[in-house]
C-alpha cells in the first residue's frame, strides 16, 4: 500500500456493518466508540440518549476555529445535508445523526461519505482558495495549525494557489530521510508533467512566510506545493484536496516504513555475520570413549 | 576506485595474520586476574606498535596489538549524510548485540566506526585464519550493505514521489 486512504477505515466499516444490519432488520446494538485519526482528530460514535435506532457521529478537531473561519460549515451542509446537526455534541465540533430506520438505498455510499468527514472539514479551506484563484482574485493567507507544532498555510494568487506545510522531524535521522524524499518530490516534475511544483526548504521558512513568525530550527522543514489552474479546476478539485491534505501523514508514514525496512535488513545482515563467525569455531568431535571389552565411559 | 580495494584488504589481512599471535598472560598488576593488555595498557612492555592501514583519508583500519589481545578499529566510508546515518544505525545495531558477536567491542575507538577486541581465549576457541577471514569479509560486506540500503532508500523515495504526483 503506497498511498494512504483518505477515508477513515474504522468509521467506514463500522457504519457499513450497522447500516447493513439495520437494513436486514436485525436487532440494533448499543454503540459507544471513541476513534482517533491523523492530526489528533477524534471521533465518537454513539447512540444519542440511549436511543438504539439512531447513531450519532461526532468529530473533534483542534483547529476547528480556523476551519470555521473559512466556511467549513457551509461545505458540510452541502455534503451532508439533513444529517448535519445544528449543534454538535458536547466537547466535539460537528455531529452527524443517522436514523437507522430510514436509511437510503445505497448504504455503502453513505458510510463512505461519513468516513470522509475529516476530509470534508479540510475541504472548505481549499475550496475557498480555489474559487478565489479561479476568479482571478488573490486572498489573504490562511493559517491552520493542524498539528501541535505544525502549520499549514494556504494562499491564492492570480494564477496559482500555494500551500505550504511546515513539518517537524522529531528524530534526528528523520531529517536526513526527509531530505532524500523531498529531493525526489522536487524532481518528480521531470517525470510527471501533470504534477504540481514542489519546493522544499530546510530549517528556515520560505520567503512567502515572512512576517508570520514561522518556526525556525534544524529539524523543521517547509514543503511548498504550487497548484496551477489545472489542479484547482472544478473537475480536478476533489482529487487535489484528497491528496494535499494527507501529504504530511503520507511523508512521515513512508519515512517510518523506510526505517523499519532498514531495521529488517540490518537484522538479516547481522545474523549472516554471526553465521560466518561461527564457521571459525572448529566442530566438536563427540567421541564416545569405549574400553576394550565394550563398556562405555560416562561423563559425570 | 576498487583498484585500491584488493591491495588494501591484502595489507589488512597480512597485518592481522602477523598480529594475531596471542598467548595467555596473567595480569602483572592484580593477582589472579587476566586482563586484555591492549585495553588496560598498564605494562608498556606487552604492547606492540599500533599500525594504521589507510585506503584514503576516510577509510582506514587501526590495529593495536599486545601480548594477549588485539584491537582492530575500522573507519567505514561515508560519502554523504544518508550514508552517515545508515552507517551509524548499522554499527549501533551490531554493537548492542556485542555479546552474541563475542569479538565485537561495545564502543568504537575515537575516530572510528566499529572496533573488535580479540583475546587469546578467542583464538584458542576459534581458528585463527577463519577469524582473519571474518574481519576481512566484514569489511567488504559493510560497504556493500550500506550502498544497498542507500539505493533502497532512494528507490523508495522515487516510487513514493511518483505515486503521489501521478495522481494529480
C-alpha cell at B68: 594477549
- What pLDDT is attached to residue A264? 93
Q: Work out how many CB contacts closer than 8 A connect A with B.
A: 124
In chain A, residues with a C-beta closer than 8 Å to the C-beta of B126 are: 280-282
The number of CA neighbours under 13 Å toward the Cβ of A108 is: 0
Residue A237: predicted pLDDT: 84
The string over B107-120, giving b where at least 16 C-beta atoms fall within 10 Å of a residue's C-beta and e elsewhere, is: ebbeebbbbbbbbb
Cell of A273: 555475520
- Give residue B1's pLDDT: 53
ipTM of this complex: 0.90
Assess B79–A contact: CB distance below 8 Å, yes or no. no
Q: How far does the CA of residue A267 sit from the closest CA of chain B (Å)?
A: 8
Instruction: Please tell me the total number of residues recorded for chain B in this structure.
Output: 168
8 Å CB contact of B166 and A250: no
A97 class by beta-carbon count within 10 Å (0-12 exposed, 13-18 middle, 19+ buried): middle
Selecting from A184, A257, A277 the residue whose C-beta is nearest the C-beta of B161 gives A184
Pairwise CA distance, residues A71 & A74, whole Å: 5
Chain B residues touching residue A257 (CB < 8 angstroms): 156
Q: How many residues appear in chain A?
A: 300
Q: Mean pLDDT score of chain B, rounded to an integer? A: 92
pLDDT of residue B141: 93
* CA–CA min distance B95, chain A (Å): 10
Measured CA to CA, the distance from residue B135 to residue B141 in angstroms comes to 10
Mean pLDDT over residues B22-45, rounded?
Answer: 92
pLDDT digits (tens, 9 = 90+) for B80-129: 889 999 999 999 999 999 998 889 999 999 999 999 999 999 999 999 99
Shortest distance between the Cα of A1 and any Cα of chain B, in A, equals: 11
Q: What is the pLDDT of residues A154-209, one digit of tens each?
A: 888 888 888 888 888 888 889 999 999 998 888 877 777 788 888 888 888 888 77
Residues of chain A short of pLDDT 70, as ranges, are: 1
Contact residues, chain A, for B145 at CB < 8 Å: 265, 269
Average pLDDT over residues B65-90: 93
**How many helices, marked H, and strands, marked E, lie in chain B?**
6, 4
Amino acid at each position: 500500500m503506497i498511498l494512504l486512504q483518505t477515508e477513515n477505515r474504522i468509521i467506514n466499516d463500522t457504519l457499513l456493518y450497522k447500516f447493513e444490519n439495520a437494513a436486514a432488520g436485525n436487532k440494533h446494538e448499543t454503540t459507544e466508540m471513541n476513534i482517533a485519526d491523523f492530526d489528533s482528530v477524534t471521533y465518537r460514535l454513539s447512540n444519542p440518549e440511549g436511543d438504539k435506532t439512531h447513531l450519532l457521529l461526532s468529530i473533534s478537531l483542534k483547529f476547528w476555529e480556523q476551519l470555521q473561519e473559512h466556511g467549513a460549515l457551509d461545505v458540510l451542509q452541502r455534503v451532508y445535508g439533513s444529517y448535519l446537526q445544528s449543534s454538535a455534541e458536547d466537547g466535539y465540533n460537528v455531529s452527524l445523526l443517522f436514523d437507522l430506520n430510514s436509511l437510503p438505498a445505497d448504504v455503502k455510499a453513505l458510510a463512505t461519505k461519513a468516513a470522509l468527514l475529516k476530509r470534508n472539514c479540510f475541504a472548505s479551506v481549499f475550496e475557498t482558495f480555489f474559487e478565489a484563484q479561479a476568479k482571478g482574485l488573490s486572498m489573504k493567507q490562511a493559517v491552520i495549525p493542524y498539528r501541535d507544532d505544525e502549520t499549514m498555510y494556504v494562499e491564492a494568487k492570480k494564477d496559482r494557489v500555494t500551500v505550504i506545510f511546515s513539518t517537524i522531524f522529531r528524530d534526528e535521522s528523520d531529517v536526513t530521510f526527509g531530505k532524500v524524499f523531498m529531493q525526489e518530490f522536487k524532481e518528480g516534475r521531470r517525470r510527471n508533467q501533470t504534477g504540481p511544483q514542489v519546493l522544499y526548504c530546510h530549517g528556515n521558512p520560505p520567503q512567502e512566510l515572512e512576517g508570520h513568525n514561522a518556526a525556525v530550527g534544524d529539524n523543521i522543514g517547509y514543503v511548498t506545493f504550487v497548484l496551477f489552474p489545472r489542479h484547482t479546476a472544478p473537475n480536478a478539485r476533489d482529487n487535489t484536496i484528497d491528496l494535499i491534505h494527507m501529504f504530511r501523514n503520507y511523508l512521515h508514514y513512508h519515512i517510518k516504513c523506510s526505517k523499519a525496512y532498514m531495521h529488517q535488513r540490518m537484522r538479516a545482515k547481522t545474523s549472516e555475520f554471526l553465521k560466518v563467525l561461527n564457521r571459525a569455531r572448529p566442530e566438536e568431535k563427540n567421541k564416545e570413549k569405549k574400553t576394550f571389552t565394550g563398556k562405555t565411559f560416562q561423563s559425570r | 576506485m576498487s583498484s585500491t580495494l584488493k591491495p588494501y584488504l591484502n595489507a589488512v589481512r597480512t597485518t592481522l595474520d602477523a598480529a594475531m599471535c596471542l598467548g595467555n598472560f596473567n595480569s602483572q598488576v592484580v593477582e589472579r586476574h587476566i586482563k586484555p593488555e591492549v585495553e588496560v595498557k598498564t605494562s608498556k612492555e606487552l604492547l606492540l606498535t599500533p599500525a594504521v592501514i589507510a585506503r584514503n583519508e576516510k577509510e582506514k583500519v587501526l590495529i593495536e596489538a599486545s601480548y594477549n589481545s588485539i584491537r582492530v578499529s575500522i573507519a567505514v566510508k561515508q560519502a554523504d549524510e544518508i550514508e552517515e546515518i545508515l552507517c551509524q544505525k548499522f554499527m549501533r545495531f551490531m554493537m548492542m548485540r556485542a555479546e552474541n558477536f563475542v569479538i565485537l567491542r561495545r564502543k568504537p575507538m575515537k575516530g572510528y566506526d566499529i572496533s573488535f577486541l580479540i583475546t587469546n581465549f578467542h583464538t584458542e576457541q576459534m581458528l585463527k585464519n577463519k577469524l582473519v577471514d571474518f574481519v576481512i569479509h566484514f569489511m567488504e560486506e559493510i560497504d556493500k550493505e550500506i550502498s544497498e540500503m542507500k539505493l533502497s532508500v532512494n528507490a523508495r523515495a522515487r516510487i513514493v514521489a511518483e505515486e503521489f504526483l501521478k495522481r494529480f
